[in-house]
Structure 1
């Protein structure tokens, strides 16, 4: 199965360590990119995105991610800025300017204060599927595993210079949007489209491409799009998300009916993953009870073991590194101050982010 990744980044002044709204200027300086890849603006002018092309394997994906980070980091440096890989800005000024555009204006008009300072950055993984019904079937089966993908990726502990106490402050902010979190069981593309159209009619979504679920059929590509993760502190962290997600999709395609799970327990699992990451307790969605988060990681690895195939050793080694070195959130806190966290996560000339893999 093919795989691709979209990574969102912050543009930061190296003196103040605060984001600055210079996305248009930085994107105009981006040079050569890997085949099929692209860079984009985001809602807030302090953010930019790199989207890989369609990749056949994790090695190709990693090469593209390194090249994309390098291209954006070089363009940012030419503007006197840093490209920073954090799920939220450790330091920020209130109400940065939104990007210019009719759709961005509609989004601001609908969500108001929820988006005026929404400088959250995620790592979105796309996995190719043959059709939209398969995408919905897969999303139905991904539901119990989305919190663990989030726990592995927590990389946003700071907000406005203070420690939130969460591994993923980004998820805390995203929860303010309508329908955020684990998607409902929908079974078919027709039922998915019917529900999304109803939410648009209810006035809580700008359009049909703007659902906030952590997994969904992509509105643009023939893929399942998984959006559980904070933007990755390093390229290897992004490769880990891609490897696990692709294996989950492969496993789900062969599965029958999705498991019956309590929606409140799933919501509790997302909250616990955002709160504690891998450092404390998680929630087992199947058993409906509190368990050490690392046990959920091992259960995920066991669940996708066959689907990992030749990537098994690589993915397990990347998981081991996160368990040893900590998630991005743990590394940010260990760096010291929010200013030190910015310096830690500034993408290097090698394009990989720090620490180097």
Structure 2
């Protein structure tokens, strides 16, 4: 199955470590993108996105992600800025601004203060599926595993000059938006699409592409889109999300009907993953019981073991690295302050495109 990744980043002034609204300048200077890849604006004018091309394997994807980070980081440096891979801005933007454009103006008109200063960044994985019925079937099966993907990809403990006490403040910040968290169970693509259309008709979504669910059938591509993880601290962190997500989709495609699990238990599992990441308890959506987060990671690996195929050793190695060295959130906290976290997560314009420290 094909796989691609969209990575969102912050643009930061090196002297203040705070976001700056310079996305248009940076994007205009991007050069040497890999085949099929693109760069985009985001809602905040202090954010940019790299979207990989469609990849057949993880080696190809790693090369694309590395090249994308290198190109964006170099363009940022040319403007005197840093490219920072964090799920939320460790330090506040003193002059937050939205990107120009009709859709962004509509979003502003609907959500007002909820999007003023909103600068959350995620790592979005797309996996190819043959049709929307398959996509909805797969999303139903993904529901219990989304909190574990979040725990592995937590990378936003600081937000606007403070330690939030959470591993992923991004998910907490997104929670008040309509269409957030674990997606509802849908029996057919028509049922899913009708649910989204009702939210648009109710005036709480500006269009069908605006849901904040952690997984959904893509509105633009023939893919399942999984948006559980914060912006990945490193290329390896992004590759781990891609490898696990592709294996989950592959496992789900040929499975029978998905279990209709309790939505409140799933919400509890998401909250717990956002609160603790891998450093505390998790909630098992199947048993509705608290368990160590590491047990949920082991269960996920067992669940997708056959689908990992030739990538099994790589993915297990990447998981082991996160468990032993900590998530992006743990690395930020070890840095000791929001300012130091920015330094750790600033992507280098050369080399592997990983953080500077």
Verify same fold: TM over 0.5: yes
Structure 2 residue runs without a partner (length 5+): none
What is the DSSP-based 3-state SS (H/G/I as helix, E as strand, rest coil) of the residue aligned with 1:62?
Answer: helix
Question: Take 1:76 and 1:323, find their aligned partners in 2: how far apart are those partners?
Answer: 31
Give, in whole Å, the separation in 2 of the partners of 1:327 and 1:7: 17
Q: 1:65-76 alignment to 2 at 5 Å?
A: 65-76=65-76
Distance verdict in 2 for CA 1:6–1:247, change over 3 Å: same
Alignment pair present for 1:146 and 2:146: yes
CA contact (8 A) 1:85 1:353 kept: no
Q: Aligned residue for 2:12?
A: 12
Deviation of 1:179 (Å): 2.1
- How many aligned positions are there? 356
Specify the alignment match of 2:157 in structure 1. Answer: 157
Residues 335 and 344, structure 1, Cα contact 8 Å, conserved in 2: yes
Cα distance in 1, alignment partners of residues 75 and 207 from structure 2: 32
C-alpha separation in 2, matches of 1:355 and 1:14: 13
Secondary structure of the 1:228 match is: strand
- Deviation track 1:112-160 (CA, whole Å, cap 9, x = no partner) reads 1111111000000000000011001000000000000000000000011
State how 1:1-357 maps to structure 2 within 5 Å. Answer: 1-94=1-94, 96-348=96-348, 349-354=350-355
CA distance in 1, matches of 2:86, 2:213: 21
* 8 Å contact from structure 1 (residues 95, 116) kept in 2: no
Q: Contact between 1:94 and 1:117, CA under 8 Å: does it hold in 2? A: no
Give the match's secondary structure for 2:18.
coil
1:314–1:165 Cα change, 3 Å:
same
Give the TM-score normalised by structure 1.
0.98
From the superposition, tell whether residues 95 and 146 of structure 1 become closer, same or farther in structure 2 (CA, over 3 Å): farther
Could you say what secondary structure the match of 2:266 adopts?
A: helix
Q: Tell me the CA shift for residue 52 of structure 1.
A: 0.1
User: C-alpha separation between the residues in 1 aligned to 2:54 and 2:301?
Assistant: 25
State the distance in 2 between where 1:352 and 1:253 align: 34
Q: Answer yes or no: is the 8 Å Cα contact 1:234–1:355 preserved in 2.
A: no
Distance 1:188 1:126 in 2: 20
Distance 1:25 1:351, change over 3 A: farther
Runs of 5+ consecutive residues of structure 1 not aligned to the other structure: none
Instruction: For residue 353 of structure 1, report the CA deviation from its aligned partner.
Output: 1.9
- 3-state SS in 2 of match to 1:166: coil
Q: Deviations over 1:161-216 (max 9, x none)?
A: 11000000000101010121001111211111111111111111001111111100
* Segment drifting more, 206-215 vs 310-319: 206-215
Whether the 8 Å contact between 2:347 and 2:356 is mirrored in structure 1 is no
Structure 1 residue 355, shift from structure 2 partner:
6.3
Question: Does the residue aligned with 1:264 lie in a helix, a strand or coil?
Answer: helix
- For residue 228 of structure 2, give the secondary structure of its aligned residue in structure 1: strand
Contact 2:283 2:289 in 1 (8 A): yes
Moved >4 Å (runs of 4+): none
| Alpha-carbon displacement from aligned partner over 1:9-60 (angstroms, at most 9, x marks no partner) | 0000000000000000000000021111000000000000000000000000
Looking at structure 2, the residues matched to 295 and 116 of structure 1 have their Cα atoms a distance apart, in angstroms, of: 38
CA RMSD of aligned residues (A): 0.9
Q: In the TM superposition, what is the alpha-carbon distance from 1:354 to its structure 2 partner?
A: 2.1
Shift of 1:94: 4.7
Contact 2:20 2:95 in 1 (8 A): no
Q: Deviation string for 1:212-242 (max 9, x for gaps)?
A: 1110010000000000000100000000000
8 Å CA contact retained: 2:346, 2:356: no
